[in-house]
Structure 1
Amino acid sequence: MDKLPMNQKISNRKKREKEKSIVSKIVTRFILFGLLLILIVVIIGSMFVSNALKPVDPNQTDTVEVQIPTGASVSQISQILKDGDLVHNASVFKYYVKMKNVPGFKAGYYQLSPSMSVDEIITSFIDGGTDQSSAAKKLLVREGEQIVDIANEVSKVTDYTAEEFLAKVNDQDFYQLLVKEFPQLLGDSVKYPNVRYRLEGYLFPATYDIDRDKTLQMIITEMVQKTNQVMSKYYEKIAEGNLDVHQILTLASLVEKEGTDLDDRKKIASVFYNRLNADMMLQTDVAVSYALEEHKEALTYEDLEVDSPYNLYKYKGLGPGPFNNPGEQAIAATINPDNTDYYYFLADINTKKVYFAKTYEEHLELKKQYID
């Protein structure tokens, strides 16, 4: 084999060293570029995450209601917040929560604002929200209120009008559905077709939560359901007596308005029973006011002559149906009245004290002493 000259060997060695140097420089530059690129990505990513954890709008303090459903995952919660414009990025929120090993969030309703940081939102979720939406309103049905009164209250706390409410309570198809759902409560009412409002007496006095998702049918059904719940403890006792559920509620609606405490109401109920058993008219102003379809402090003799089946100064018995929606105390007094021989009663409008009499003559004397 021929041998290269010495100067040629030196030249080739220098050439290889130069090539290695170039390759080394290229590799070094690629490594430096890669490291620089990674550094840039880390810096940009860090800035992105940092910004994503900041408030969406520091100047917007108006709250937004957020509902966290029971059993919602972090991914679902992240999306709820993003949809509500409360966080910049759903994925960042999700991974930040997991990175911090945050304990489970509590279900409920939360009042959050775009001015809150992610950490502040997380703290709110850990503390817990409320069980009731702030959008929900309260509907108060008072003892002795008539359906027209309830309709007006409904119109104040919902988007429904009083007319729409009254139409719904008299909706025959809806009424039949309620009869099927609550047969013990409403089964007897079908025997009394000439009532003014089908559900008068069956909308229990209580406070009801009203939110934007509740329909009129749902609102009314809840009231009837409450009445059924209260009445369930009395059905067996009612079945043993002479009056059915509809008649009991009718009489209770009179007792509700004529007395204020349980003792008086039990005596008033006994007066009504005694008069019914003696085939006497009940002659109660409560019934006349209902017949007139207006609230009056004092009735005239002309008022007492109004021709209506609800006028118990003109017709015997209990009338077509309830005159209002009685509370449980009046219902209990009607089902468990005192055993008396009273046939008359009157109340001092100033002291609210009720006086009872066995005879008409005694009644007139009490009237002269405490009323006239």
Structure 2
Amino acid sequence: MSDSNEKPRNELYEERVSQARIVRKIVFFSLIGLVVLGIIIFISAYFYFKNTLGPVNASNPEEIQVTIPIGSTANQIGTILESEGLVRNGTIFRYYVRYKNESGFQAGEYNLATDMTMDDLIDALKEGRVLQEPELVFTVPEGRWLIDVAKIIAEETDHSEEEVMDVLTDKDYIESLINQYPMLTDEILNDELHYALEGYIFPARYDFIEKQPTIETIIEEMLKSTQSVLDEFASEVEQSEYTVHEILTLASIIEREAQKSEDRYKISGVLHNRLELEMKLQVDPTVSYAHWEHSYMTTYEMLKIDSPYNTYMYAGIPVGPIANPGKDSIKAALNPEETSALFFYARYGGDVIYTETLEEHSKVHQQYRDEWVEGQAAEEKQGD
């Protein structure tokens, strides 16, 4: 009986050994296959990027005249070079410029050739001859309302403020812009917004070669600048739980509340804390904007306004931006500083005090409230 039982056990053992050998062979050859595949992918990627960074046509070079407009970003330059057949991929040009930390590209007219490498093109673009001096130069400061920007444009050009606002509020024109700029979505068509493009007009210095550019040219140059900044923060925007419209809304609040860069990030942290806890944001500049008036102090009567901008009445992010934020505020909205504070009070003069409880905040508010009254009175006296 024992011999008959022994044989099946031996056969079972040998079968398991055989299966183990087969499994080891499968694992071994799978690993070999993965290594080979990895090597192939690495080699392919290497030659792809080497080819992309190299000249488009070295054997039969062609000279091409290219114009780089004033204010062009690396992304825009890459698009121009790709469209002219001087680089194979404009996006890779942009990332390569960022990787090499290159800057200082000059607007101008260039004679470039298809036998130039990407490094050759970058070097050449730093030595451009400016086509001509700008005829129109003006600056839009951070945190201005759209109507303030319209006034600046009107003061610097022959266009009237009314004409500028007519274009800025033209529904058909606004809808056409949505097709041009990825940052613009149907959110800006909300009828409750004061202005569809509020928050999207980038504060910066603007140079125009034309003495009297069209209103559309001016507006689109400003929108292009905002889109460029958002493209720069593309990864942060993608990771954010908020839409671009909501990010710019938070950035506009930060811009109106903070005067110092370090406060922007901490105020952003407070705002994000309140949003996570589903608390009302309760920030005064939103109330001023709801009333269509600039005001130093927010009265209890002003808080009663029933407006989607009123963050004392409604929780969450307001319906839209309350000003046009700068780059630092946009960055702060995307990168809030970690803080335990739930309240902040901006003193007259720029200092910001952060507190964790309503009781602490109320004490600070009472202690420094008179500063704003006295400061406003002093400014009005100076104005007289």
Aligned mates of 1:289, 1:275 — CA distance in 2: 20
Structure 2 partner of 1:131:
132
Secondary structure of 2:179's counterpart equals helix
Q: In the alignment, is residue 355 of structure 1 matched against residue 356 of structure 2?
A: no
CA deviation string 1:6-31 (max 9, x = no partner): xxxxxxxxxxxxxxxxxxxxxxxxxx
Is the Cα–Cα contact under 8 Å of residues 192 and 321 in structure 1 kept in the other structure? Answer: no
Change (3 A) 1:198 1:353: same
CA deviation string 1:215-241 (max 9, x = no partner): 111110000000001111112211212
Structure 2 partner of 1:171:
170
TM-score between the two structures when normalised by the length of structure 1: 0.62
Aligned mates of 1:307, 1:329 — CA distance in 2: 31
Aligned mates of 1:150, 1:343 — CA distance in 2: 33
Aligned mates of 2:301, 2:143 — CA distance in 1: 25
CA deviation string 1:117-166 (max 9, x = no partner): xxxxxxxxxxx998225xx2222111000100011111111111111111
Q: In the alignment, is residue 254 of structure 1 matched against residue 253 of structure 2?
A: yes
Q: CA deviation at 1:194?
A: 2.6
Structure 2 partner of 1:10:
none
CA deviation string 1:75-129 (max 9, x = no partner): xxxxxxxxxxxxxxxxxxxxxxxxxxxxxxxx99xxxxxxxxxxxxxxxxxxx99
Is the Cα–Cα contact under 8 Å of residues 151 and 165 in structure 1 kept in the other structure? Answer: yes
* Letter of the 1:244 counterpart: T
Change (3 A) 1:341 1:188: farther
Unaligned stretches of 5+ in structure 1? 1-69, 71-106, 109-127
Structure 1 partner of 2:8:
none
Secondary structure of 1:151's counterpart equals helix
Structure 1 partner of 2:91:
none
Counting aligned pairs with the same residue, the percent is: 38
Structure 2 partner of 1:226:
225
Secondary structure of 2:184's counterpart equals helix
Structure exhibiting the larger radius of gyration computed from Cα positions: 1
Aligned mates of 1:189, 1:295 — CA distance in 2: 25
- Structure 1's consecutive aligned runs of 4 or more residues displaced over 6 angstroms after TM superposition are none
Q: CA deviation at 1:357?
A: 0.8
Q: In the alignment, is residue 287 of structure 1 matched against residue 271 of structure 2?
A: no
* Letter of the 1:131 counterpart: Q
Aligned mates of 1:364, 1:213 — CA distance in 2: 52
Q: In the alignment, is residue 206 of structure 1 matched against residue 204 of structure 2?
A: yes
Change (3 A) 1:296 1:369: closer
Is the Cα–Cα contact under 8 Å of residues 141 and 206 in structure 1 kept in the other structure? Answer: yes
Structure 1 partner of 2:312:
313
Structure 2 partner of 1:339:
338
Is the Cα–Cα contact under 8 Å of residues 145 and 323 in structure 2 kept in the other structure? Answer: yes
Is the Cα–Cα contact under 8 Å of residues 347 and 353 in structure 1 kept in the other structure? Answer: yes
Is the Cα–Cα contact under 8 Å of residues 201 and 325 in structure 1 kept in the other structure? Answer: yes
Q: CA deviation at 1:345?
A: 0.4
Structure 2 partner of 1:300:
299
Change (3 A) 1:248 1:326: same
1:258-269 aligned within 5 A: 258-269=257-268
Aligned mates of 1:196, 1:188 — CA distance in 2: 15
Secondary structure of 2:320's counterpart equals coil
Change (3 A) 1:248 1:360: same
Structure 2 partner of 1:241:
240
Structure 1 partner of 2:365:
367
Aligned mates of 2:306, 2:365 — CA distance in 1: 27
Cα RMSD (Å): 2.3
Aligned mates of 1:157, 1:359 — CA distance in 2: 47
Aligned mates of 2:185, 2:292 — CA distance in 1: 27
Aligned mates of 1:346, 1:368 — CA distance in 2: 11
Is the Cα–Cα contact under 8 Å of residues 249 and 331 in structure 1 kept in the other structure? Answer: yes
Aligned mates of 1:368, 1:148 — CA distance in 2: 33
* Letter of the 1:317 counterpart: G
Change (3 A) 1:223 1:323: same
Q: CA deviation at 1:268?
A: 0.5
Aligned mates of 2:130, 2:333 — CA distance in 1: 44
Aligned mates of 2:325, 2:130 — CA distance in 1: 36
1:25-36 aligned within 5 A: none
TM-score between the two structures when normalised by the length of structure 2: 0.60
Is the Cα–Cα contact under 8 Å of residues 188 and 245 in structure 1 kept in the other structure? Answer: no
Is the Cα–Cα contact under 8 Å of residues 198 and 322 in structure 2 kept in the other structure? Answer: yes
* Letter of the 2:257 counterpart: E
Pick from 180, 185, 194 the counterpart of residue 196 of structure 1: 194
Is the Cα–Cα contact under 8 Å of residues 187 and 245 in structure 2 kept in the other structure? Answer: yes
Change (3 A) 1:129 1:366: closer
Is the Cα–Cα contact under 8 Å of residues 203 and 325 in structure 2 kept in the other structure? Answer: yes
Aligned mates of 2:191, 2:305 — CA distance in 1: 21
Aligned mates of 1:310, 1:150 — CA distance in 2: 20
Structure 2 partner of 1:155:
154
